[in-house]
Amino acid sequence: MGGVTWSGGVEHWTQKGDIRLFLWEKKANPAVPFAGTILFVHGSSMASQPTFDLHVPGRPYSSAMEWFRDRGFDTWTMDNEGYGRSDKHRAINSDISNGADDLAAGSAYILQKTGARSLLLYGISSGALKAALFAERHPERVAKIALDAYVWTGEGSHTLEQRRKKLPEFLAKNRRPIDRAFVHSIFERDHPGTADDATINAFADAILTLDDSMPTGTYVDMCSRLPLTDPRKLLAPTLILRGEWDGIASLDDLLAYYRLLPNMNKQFSVMRGISHASFQQKNYMMVYHLLHSFYTMPDPIYTGEHA
DSSP track, 164-177: GGGHHHHHH-SEEE
Average pLDDT, the chain: 96
Confidence of residue 5 (pLDDT cuts 50, 70, 90): confident
**Of the candidates 216, 206, 218, which has an alpha carbon nearest to the alpha carbon of residue 280?**
206
CATH code for the domain of 46: 3.40.50.1820
In a domain, residue 302? The reply is no
Does position 1 have pLDDT exceeding 50, yes or no?
no
Given this model, what pLDDT does residue 73 score?
98
**Residue 277 one-letter amino acid:** A
pLDDT band at 184 (very low <50, low <70, confident <90, very high): very high
Q: What is the structure's pLDDT at 307?
A: 54
Tell whether the model's pLDDT for residue 154 goes beyond 90. Answer: yes
Between CA 162 and CA 170 the distance in angstroms is 13
Number of structural domains (the chain) is 1
| The pLDDT of residue 287 is above 70 | yes
The domain in which residue 291 lies consists of: 10-296
Judge whether residue 134 has pLDDT over 50: yes
pLDDT tens-digit readout, 73-115 = 999 999 999 999 999 999 999 999 999 999 999 999 999 999 9
Dihedrals φ, ψ of 283, to 5°? -95, 30
Q: Is 225 left (phi over 0), alpha (psi -120 to 50) or beta?
A: alpha
Residues 214, 175 contacting (CB under 8 angstroms): yes
Looking at residue 2, its pLDDT comes to 47
Question: Is residue 2 a part of any domain in this protein?
Answer: no
Q: Say yes or no to pLDDT of 301 above 90.
A: yes
Does residue 3 register a pLDDT over 80?
no
Does 50 fall in a domain? yes
305 occurs within a structural domain: no
Percent of the chain with pLDDT over 90: 97
- Fill in the amino acid letter for 251: L
pLDDT > 90? residue 245: yes
Asked, for residue 21, whether it belongs to a domain, the answer is yes
Q: What is the mean pLDDT of residues 202-230?
A: 98
The gap from C-alpha 188 to its chain's centroid, in whole angstroms, comes to 20
Structure confidence at residue 213 as a pLDDT band (50, 70, 90): very high
For residue 5, is it within any domain? no
**Ramachandran angles phi, psi of 264, nearest 5°:** -75, 0
Confidence grade of residue 305 (pLDDT, cut at 50, 70, 90) = confident
Q: Does 3 reside within a domain?
A: no
Q: Which of 275, 274, 157, 273 is nearest to 219 (CA)?
A: 157
The per-type count for the chain, helices as H runs and strands as E runs, is 11, 10
- 172 burial type by CB count under 10 A (0-12 exposed, 13-18 middle, 19+ buried): exposed
- Is 301 within a domain? no
